[in-house]
Structure 1
Amino acid sequence: MTDKNEKADGAAAAESNAENEFMLSLTKYNDAAAIAHRVLAKVCKLAIEGDGKTILSLCQEGDELLDEECSRVYKGKKISKGIAFPTTVSPNDILTPYTPLATDPGESEIAIRKGDVLKIQLGAQLDGYPAIVGDTVIVGQDAELTDDRKNLLLATHYCNEALLRLLIPSDIHPLSTPEKPHKQPSPNEITQILNKIAGTYDCSLVESTTSFNFLQNEIEGKKRLVLHPGEAMPKSEGAPEVGDIWGVELALSKGSGKLKDVPGKRPTLHKKTDTKVGLKRQTSKTTFTEVNKRFGNFPFGLRQLEDERIAKMGIVECVRCGVVRQFEVLGEKDGSITSRLFTTIALMTTAITKAGINKIAAPPEPGLEKLITDKSIENTEILGLLQLPLKKAKKKKPAAKKEE
């Protein structure tokens, strides 16, 4: 009996320690998210009111704010902190994160105009725990909300809310009971549901939209969810589990949802890989050393490096040898407007919180009262899904019996 008790006590202690570690990491995720939220709000406000501002100036402003905000927290502690995802602003048909360079005249001078649909994404990290968030806004929003834009925003919002609910693991799902556990939908089933919602608003789910689980110092874990996978693209792997942190991406189009390379747009967003190769050129070695020291495994923009011109030369061999991966600039194949949201979530159940999904970093809800069109969701199953709470209600403890 003693051995059994000791084993039980040891298991309970291990579980308690794991929960404490999770809550400590969650604090840092939340602190990073608070920074990301504040910066996103400022950049979006500048973008909505910024007819004539350049995309480059918005990206620079966002990165300066991220660095400034991160410098104010965890002072005196020897932890890494800074940008987990540089500020990117992708206009209209461009879907993937886009961040131009000051040394590319044609790119640096691109101005935003009323009616432009901008996808803005950025993130902060504290002690390697990242919080990334992205929103879609329209320049001069109140004056330029055409029906196409309204329907795109509505579809994006409802698809994103549905996607989050479809990611809840069975063991913490609001509808799960011991007698009848809720079945977690497959990636294909999730894609079908989101396509129904998007189709209601004459929109399409963008092919190969991918979400990853987050880890300390890594935003692309081994688990991934790939929606509407394209040809020769990686498939989904693993499934969301309690204790996971995920970066959830949702992308829609008013066109086909198929992507193509955008001509004339230099890939400027990169991420270090695990490949080990000896570089030959000095500019490549200098660039890679700076990348490894300053950014680790987090994505970075070439304009964040100390010397942008040297970085443009050095990154070529880094990409060719596979020690760094570049994010291609992709856009809607037929030129239609696109949207993208990015949400960082925690899938959790602890003694002090409700079981379910906690939105760590999330785009603000759009003003639905301004997005009225002749289209609406009527499918009762989808309406039920959207009304589902993200967290499971705690069971009430039975009342103590009164002594007679």
Structure 2
Amino acid sequence: MTDKKEKADGPAAAESNPENEFALSLTKYNDAAAISHRVLAKVCRLAIDGDGKTILSLCEEGDKLLDEECSKVYKGKKISKGIAFPTTVSPNDILTPYTPLATDPGENEIAIKKGDVLKIQLGAQLGGYPAIVGDTVIVGQDAELTDDQKNLLQATHYCNEALLRLLLPSEIHPLTTPEKPHRQPSAYEITQILNKIAAAYDCTIVESTTSFNFLQNEIEGKKRLVLHPGEGMPKSEGAPEVGDIWGVELALSKGSGKLKDIPGKRPTLHKKTDTKVGLKRQTSKATFTEVNKKFGNFPFGLRQLEDERTAKMGIVECVRCGVVRQFEVLGEKDGSITSRLFTTIAITKAGINKIAAPPEPELEKLKTDKSIENAEILDFLKLPLNKSKKKKKPAAKKEE
């Protein structure tokens, strides 16, 4: 009995301690986030100054930078590292992550222009721990913006800050007391609160905006929060808990918030599934083998594969048989401008830590005649995300 107890209390037990494992994984999440922040800042700067640049060139530059930055860390160690989410740039009414192909005529020539609203998303992974981040920027935004653009950016920022606070579990919520724990809101209640904030700026929450819990080598865990689930779409499942990592998505529109397929836009973003099916075509087998080896369960763009033209052929059977899922290119039904933010968070005993987060906008430059008047919501937005007294540095800054 004594021997068994000593073994249980030894180093092996310490290594398998969930808290220790969480702390060790946070190191890699934070290291991956540092890479994602640096690359996002550079791509956003290129986009803001890039009237005339193509969307493809921005995506290619982002992926190149992600690969370069990942190669600089954990040298000589047997650890997986690379892109957890390829660089995507979605303009104006296109809402879902979009990454065109060099071999698609027309798509590869789409240039950004002053006033375009761009949703930029990307992410790195180290040891299978992903840090994904997304921001919304406007080409030439250092100049004058329209009131619609200003209101969209304000609404997006405040809705995102509210959403993060709404994810706080009851046990660590700042309003929880020993006598009365704060009740965690339902997905419906979260959506209603965000609707009020968005409406103050004449904006709408986009249907089926989905956040997932992250796991090692997986960005779509079993838990998910779905805002305004569309017809036939999955509903929310599970709830945020201490020890969770979440990828939090927030998408708004200046229009209806309803989604539609964008004609002529090839789905180029994919993700391997758990389905096991024997593929028949040689190109399909080669494509799937490459996907499995290079990306595992992380999303990938077809242009990341060795031969883009072969990949376009091989992926067809992979999708048809269900071993790979494609991300459809969707946009705002009425063509209005849209926004999207993506934040990777860790839920700890002290509260929520923004591991990878978009930089805060300069709100003074975004003032219009619209504002939040609801006193309850204004007080709610002042609640701290984290009880730690140590002042945190900003998550990221856009490069000058």
TM-score of the pair, normalised by structure 1: 0.93
Deviation at 1:392, TM superposition (A): 2.5
Question: How many equivalent pairs are there?
Answer: 399
C-alpha contact 2:272 2:292 (8 A) present in aligned 1:
yes
The superposition leaves residues 130-189 of structure 1 with CA deviations (integer Å, 9 ceiling, x where unpaired) of 000000000000224100000000000000000000000001111112211010000000
- In the aligned structure 2, how far is the partner of 1:307 from the partner of 1:401? 36
- In the aligned structure 1, how far is the partner of 2:238 from the partner of 2:146? 40
- Partner SS state of residue 90, structure 2: strand
Residues 357 and 398 from structure 1, CA distance in 2 versus in 1: closer, same or farther, beyond 3 angstroms? Answer: closer
C-alpha contact 1:115 1:144 (8 A) present in aligned 2:
no
Residues 195 and 335 from structure 1, CA distance in 2 versus in 1: closer, same or farther, beyond 3 angstroms? Answer: same
Residues 215 and 353 from structure 1, CA distance in 2 versus in 1: closer, same or farther, beyond 3 angstroms? Answer: closer
C-alpha contact 2:45 2:399 (8 A) present in aligned 1:
no
The equivalences for 1:4-403 within 5 A come to: 17-345=17-345, 355-392=350-387
The superposition leaves residues 65-122 of structure 1 with CA deviations (integer Å, 9 ceiling, x where unpaired) of 0000000000000010000000000000000000000000110000000000000000
The superposition leaves residues 262-283 of structure 1 with CA deviations (integer Å, 9 ceiling, x where unpaired) of 0010000000000000000000
The superposition leaves residues 43-65 of structure 1 with CA deviations (integer Å, 9 ceiling, x where unpaired) of 00000000000000000000000
Q: 137-146 or 334-343: which moved more?
A: 137-146
Residues 242 and 15 from structure 1, CA distance in 2 versus in 1: closer, same or farther, beyond 3 angstroms? Answer: farther
Deviation at 1:381, TM superposition (A): 1.1
Deviation at 1:257, TM superposition (A): 0.1
- In the aligned structure 2, how far is the partner of 1:294 from the partner of 1:33? 20
Residues 255 and 15 from structure 1, CA distance in 2 versus in 1: closer, same or farther, beyond 3 angstroms? Answer: same
- In the aligned structure 1, how far is the partner of 2:392 from the partner of 2:39? 40
Q: 169-178 or 15-24: which moved more?
A: 15-24
C-alpha contact 2:41 2:397 (8 A) present in aligned 1:
no
Deviation at 1:16, TM superposition (A): 8.4
The superposition leaves residues 189-216 of structure 1 with CA deviations (integer Å, 9 ceiling, x where unpaired) of 0000000000000000000000000000
The superposition leaves residues 353-388 of structure 1 with CA deviations (integer Å, 9 ceiling, x where unpaired) of 861000000000001110010011110111111100
Deviation at 1:401, TM superposition (A): 47
Residues 24 and 401 from structure 1, CA distance in 2 versus in 1: closer, same or farther, beyond 3 angstroms? Answer: closer
Residues 37 and 312 from structure 1, CA distance in 2 versus in 1: closer, same or farther, beyond 3 angstroms? Answer: same
- Partner SS state of residue 352, structure 1: strand
Q: 145-154 or 177-186: which moved more?
A: 177-186
C-alpha contact 1:37 1:133 (8 A) present in aligned 2:
yes
C-alpha contact 1:162 1:385 (8 A) present in aligned 2:
yes
Residues 110 and 18 from structure 1, CA distance in 2 versus in 1: closer, same or farther, beyond 3 angstroms? Answer: same
Residues 13 and 50 from structure 1, CA distance in 2 versus in 1: closer, same or farther, beyond 3 angstroms? Answer: same
Segments of structure 2 that go 5 or more residues without pairing to the other structure are none
- In the aligned structure 1, how far is the partner of 2:358 from the partner of 2:159? 13
- In the aligned structure 2, how far is the partner of 1:402 from the partner of 1:310? 37
The superposition leaves residues 289-330 of structure 1 with CA deviations (integer Å, 9 ceiling, x where unpaired) of 000000000000000000000000000000000000000000
C-alpha contact 1:85 1:132 (8 A) present in aligned 2:
yes
Residues 2 and 173 from structure 1, CA distance in 2 versus in 1: closer, same or farther, beyond 3 angstroms? Answer: farther
C-alpha contact 1:138 1:144 (8 A) present in aligned 2:
no
The superposition leaves residues 222-280 of structure 1 with CA deviations (integer Å, 9 ceiling, x where unpaired) of 00000011110000000000000000000000000000000010000000000000000
C-alpha contact 1:173 1:392 (8 A) present in aligned 2:
no
Residues 47 and 194 from structure 1, CA distance in 2 versus in 1: closer, same or farther, beyond 3 angstroms? Answer: same
- Partner SS state of residue 290, structure 1: helix
C-alpha contact 2:242 2:348 (8 A) present in aligned 1:
no
Q: 170-179 or 221-230: which moved more?
A: 170-179
C-alpha contact 2:42 2:399 (8 A) present in aligned 1:
no
C-alpha contact 1:118 1:137 (8 A) present in aligned 2:
yes
- Partner SS state of residue 10, structure 2: helix
Deviation at 1:395, TM superposition (A): 17
C-alpha contact 2:359 2:395 (8 A) present in aligned 1:
no
Q: 138-147 or 298-307: which moved more?
A: 138-147
Residues 255 and 309 from structure 1, CA distance in 2 versus in 1: closer, same or farther, beyond 3 angstroms? Answer: same
C-alpha contact 1:287 1:314 (8 A) present in aligned 2:
yes
Higher radius of gyration, 1 or 2: 1
Q: 354-363 or 294-303: which moved more?
A: 354-363
- Partner SS state of residue 115, structure 1: coil
C-alpha contact 1:32 1:125 (8 A) present in aligned 2:
yes
- In the aligned structure 2, how far is the partner of 1:263 from the partner of 1:403? 35
- In the aligned structure 2, how far is the partner of 1:252 from the partner of 1:396? 28
- In the aligned structure 1, how far is the partner of 2:399 from the partner of 2:268? 73
Residues 395 and 335 from structure 1, CA distance in 2 versus in 1: closer, same or farther, beyond 3 angstroms? Answer: closer
- In the aligned structure 2, how far is the partner of 1:116 from the partner of 1:402? 18
The superposition leaves residues 327-355 of structure 1 with CA deviations (integer Å, 9 ceiling, x where unpaired) of 0000000000000000000xxxxx99861
- In the aligned structure 2, how far is the partner of 1:125 from the partner of 1:10? 31
- In the aligned structure 2, how far is the partner of 1:376 from the partner of 1:198? 10
- In the aligned structure 1, how far is the partner of 2:204 from the partner of 2:122? 24
Residues 188 and 289 from structure 1, CA distance in 2 versus in 1: closer, same or farther, beyond 3 angstroms? Answer: same
C-alpha contact 2:207 2:259 (8 A) present in aligned 1:
yes
- In the aligned structure 1, how far is the partner of 2:121 from the partner of 2:157? 16
Deviation at 1:402, TM superposition (A): 52
Deviation at 1:17, TM superposition (A): 2.3
- In the aligned structure 2, how far is the partner of 1:200 from the partner of 1:399? 27
- In the aligned structure 1, how far is the partner of 2:28 from the partner of 2:395? 37
- In the aligned structure 1, how far is the partner of 2:253 from the partner of 2:347? 40
TM-score of the pair, normalised by structure 2: 0.93
Segments of structure 1 that go 5 or more residues without pairing to the other structure are 346-350
